[in-house]
Amino acid sequence: MKTLKIIKIGGNIIDDNEALHSFLKEFASIDGPKLLVHGGGKSATKLANQMKVEVKMIDGRRITDAETLDVITMVYAGKINKNIVAQLQASNCNAIGFSGADGNAIVSEKRPIKTIDYGFVGDVKKVNTNALEIILNNAIIPVFCAITHDGNGQLLNTNADTIASALAIDLSNIFNTELYYCFEKNGVLVDVNNNDSVIEHINSQTYQELKSNGIIYEGMLPKIDNCFHAITHNVNKVCIGKPEMLFNAKTKYTTITK
């Protein structure tokens, strides 16, 4: 069984043209099957402001009304996705851009209203791996944006970390999957102000201890929860850190295990 690397990049790379260019050149050099998932960065907020579409956030999460969905679809599935694909082609890395609707790859359901109405936000329900298996086995690299669909013609804004985790879980039936979350820190940190205080290994027991001691809190909790969800559903390896963890053996980062 081949090993498939699923790599998620966030706004800290996407918002910096030089960092994105450098990352994609390195990404293109990774051997074997690979898949890239990207978030949206600040570009959607910038375009929304230019178009005079109100940006609404609650606890760091975007409220996606119909106008906002139009903006993020333009930015995520259009500008960012096609820019990444074009840069990969320039590095002789044959890539194809995906939303969840393309190839019916990811079907989501609109998040039910509980205390907050998030609007057109989707929670992943199903991943269809048939088309992806064919593409990956023909050395073509899928590049996923953070847009899915509900199977009834409605596009949905969907968390990119969750998309990466869902793809890693469902593709683990075909490949040995490894999941890498790239962000601006060196990994999960003991001290958020000290980038060298990397916790190099976290398992389910140490995770509970880190939570109860207040070392892992707020924004990191859903990211780590995604990691454990993946690792308990047949994903071989989950890592969190700077993109250098993929290319430099001396780089410190965090590995999540059961």
Binding-site residue numbers for substrate are: 40-41, 62, 157
Q: Which domain holds residue 170?
A: 3-256
**What is the rounded CA–CA span in Å between residue 193 and residue 183?**
15
Binding residues: 40-41, 62, 157
Strands 106-110 and 57-58: unpaired
Q: Which amino acid is at 112?
A: P
The domain that holds 144 is classified in CATH as: 3.40.1160.10
HSE on the CB side for 55, CA within 13 Å? 14
**Residue 207 near residue 213, CB atoms below 8 Å:** no
Question: Tell me, what amino acid is at 41?
Answer: G
Q: Which amino acid is at 253?
A: Y
d(CA 96, CA 103): 11
Alpha-helical segments (H) within 122-231 = 130-137, 160-171, 204-212, 220-231
Tally the domains of the chain: 1
Per-residue tokens: 189: 């940190």
pLDDT value at residue 174: 96
* pTM, entire model: 0.94
Share of the chain above pLDDT 70, in %: 100
User: Is residue 35 within 8 Å of residue 6, measured between CB atoms?
Assistant: yes
Nearest to residue 109, comparing CAs of 132, 125, 131, 94?
125
Provide the pLDDT for residue 192: 85
Q: Return the pLDDT at 217.
A: 78
Low-confidence ranges of the chain (pLDDT < 70): none
How confident is the model at residue 99, as a pLDDT? 98
pLDDT digits (tens, 9 = 90+) for 147-175: 999 999 999 999 999 999 999 999 999 99
The SS3 call for residue 86 is: helix
Rounded Cα distance between 243 and 228, Å, is: 20
